[in-house]
Amino acid sequence: MTPRNDKFARKCPPKHLDQGWFSQFTKISSFQIYEYFEGEYHFREKQRKLFSEGKIENPVLDYPLLNKKHLDAKEAAHKSLLNTILSDERNLLIRRAYQKKIEEKLAEIQILKASRAKDWSRFISGCKKIYGYPSLKAQGHTAAWLQREFRKAKKGKGLEISKRGIAKLELLIEKWLGKIPKHYRIVKLPTKSLFGKTLKNLQRELQVILKPALARKPPYNAKNICEIFNKAVSLAGISGWEAVVVKSSSISIGTDPSTKKIRIPHKKYLYSSDLRALIVHEIGTHVRRQFNGKKSAFSLLSLGLDRYEESEEGLATLKEQLVRDSFDDFSGFPGFLAVCLALGCDGEKRNFRQVYEEINSIFFLLKLIGGENSAIAKTEAAREAWERSVRTFRGTDCSTPGICFTKDIIYREGNMKLWNFLLKTEINISEFDAGKYDPLNSEHIKLLNSLGIIKSYKTNAEIEKRKTYYKCR
């Protein structure tokens, strides 16, 4: 066989530059931290009933998957692989990428071990290390928006909530805003021009995967959702992935890259707008990025580079916004609010019950402002407040104020940052689907550009500067 000359080899790198490392990494790292916080369905239902009847102050969430031997073995395997890669991998960029990713997975394992040991100081410290802390910009925007809604409600007529109840919520928001400098409270939403340009860039792809949602009338139960998702996967040209219905105490649809399954909780129920949004969120973002990453020259892109999740969720929620009936605000409000209240961003740290009571009142009021019937609004607000509180306090004992699982802040933070990035950058958003990386992370861009997977891009300010330079010459 005639060997390729060096010039050709440089232009055509091996199909998978990290194939040896990726196969080892996949065996030990194909997990999401929240999977370990799943509980037994009947146990959690019993806790929900006791909580709603006021028979217990806070629920007890079970974590049957938090096994000490398993976690110790995971930790040892990651450390061993990291040492081998640092010693044997010659490509500095690939070595650095795997080092940062494995260190992140080790930090996740520490959170799981802290949860099992009920070491809440280590638990919350680990969460902040991976997911950060709610930014003042996102806090200011959220609190100022709520304040405007509460003032609107106070002036309105016919709302079945007392002025005293609204005043109590207003006081909470005033205390919160008192902790935030004024210049953080004004955040501009995407312009119509930017929204239209972004939609145009993705229009063709979105139309294809949304076709199955138009063929059946709403509402949709778990079985309907599963059938529609599988048709959308097929139309997207994505092989190997499958949607399945699973019995779960959670109501959130999730993707599992290791088994290539889209998991639909058996109690899931959707209407048209939410169905379309979840198709582009799960299939159009999470599944597509995994699929494209696996096809690329750098296999790690299929599981994700370090700290990719904020931008991934920001992109997924941005695509949701493009297919919804209207754009009112950045995504991720409920989860962001619940975490901020739990952490005590307003000055008062809260436990499960305290967060539940606050967001139940807020959700109820917002539904009334939106025109919902009082009885329906009350039932829906209570259900959503329970589900949101469980998500916020998963992994914890639910009783210690200020201790929560902070992941849900990344949906709002990521959505805000990505829209702001698009405002400043001349790029077709479809380029972000090359794999699971953070387009806002300069180290990720440098790595993928060096490997020939993506092109580097310039901000609008850099483009204008360049235009001015050539004009002056």
pLDDT along the chain (473 residues), means of 10: 38 68 94 93 96 97 97 98 97 96 98 98 97 97 93 70 79 95 90 92 90 87 96 95 89 87 92 92 96 95 96 96 88 97 98 98 92 91 96 98 98 96 87 94 93 72 40 37
* Residue 335, in any domain of the structure: yes
So what's the pLDDT on residue 15?
65
Domain hosting residue 57, numbered range: 11-132+440-463
pTM: 0.89
Kindly state whether residues 284 and 395 are assigned to the same domain.
Answer: yes
C-alpha–C-alpha distance, residues 431 and 428, integer Å: 6
300 and 18 Cβ atoms separated by less than 8 Å: yes
Q: How far is the C-alpha of 401 from the C-alpha of 280, rounded, in Å? A: 36
Task: Check whether residue 254 and residue 158 sit in a common domain.
Answer: yes
What are the angstrom distances between the C-alpha of 341 and each of 111, 172, 344, 369? 21, 10, 5, 22
Shared domain check, 125 and 170: no
Contact 123, 403 (CB under 8 A): yes
Tell me if 412 is assigned to some domain. Answer: no
Q: What pLDDT, on a 0 to 100 scale, did the predictor assign at position 136?
A: 97
Same structural domain, 146 and 29: no
Report the C-alpha dihedral over residues 275, 432, 108, 387, rounded to 10 degrees: -20
Residue 420 lies in a domain: no
Asked if 121 and 201 sit in the same domain, the reply is no
Residue 471 lies in a domain: no
Q: Are residues 69 and 198 in the same domain?
A: no
Q: What is the pLDDT of residue 458?
A: 57
Q: How far apart are CA 284 and CA 458, in angstroms?
A: 25
Q: Is residue 360 assigned to a domain?
A: yes
Let me know whether 115 and 144 are in one domain: no
Do 43 and 178 reside in the same domain of the chain? Answer: no
Query: What's 257's DSSP letter?
Result: T
Domain boundary among 380, 406, 432: 406
3 found inside a domain: no
Long-range contact set of residues 193-198: C-beta below 8 Å, sequence gap at least 24 = 194/419, 194/422, 194/423, 195/322, 195/327, 198/318, 198/322, 198/422, 198/429
Residues 147 and 120 placed together within one structural domain of the fold: no
Number of domain units in the chain: 2
Going by C-alpha positions, the residue among 399, 321, 303, 331 that lies closest to residue 57 is 399
pLDDT in the model for residue 104 = 98
In this prediction, residue 2 carries a pLDDT of: 35
- Say if 274 falls within a structural domain: yes
Check whether residue 240 and residue 335 sit in a common domain: yes
Give me the pLDDT at residue 128, please. 96
Tell me, yes or no, whether 230 and 335 share the same domain: yes
Q: Look at residue 468 in the predicted model and tell me its pLDDT.
A: 40
**Position 304 in a domain:** yes
Q: Give me the long-range contacts of 117-124 (CB less than 8 A, separation at least 24).
A: 118/397, 120/396, 120/397, 120/400, 120/403, 123/395, 123/396, 123/403, 124/402, 124/403, 124/404, 124/406
- pLDDT given for residue 428 in this prediction: 85
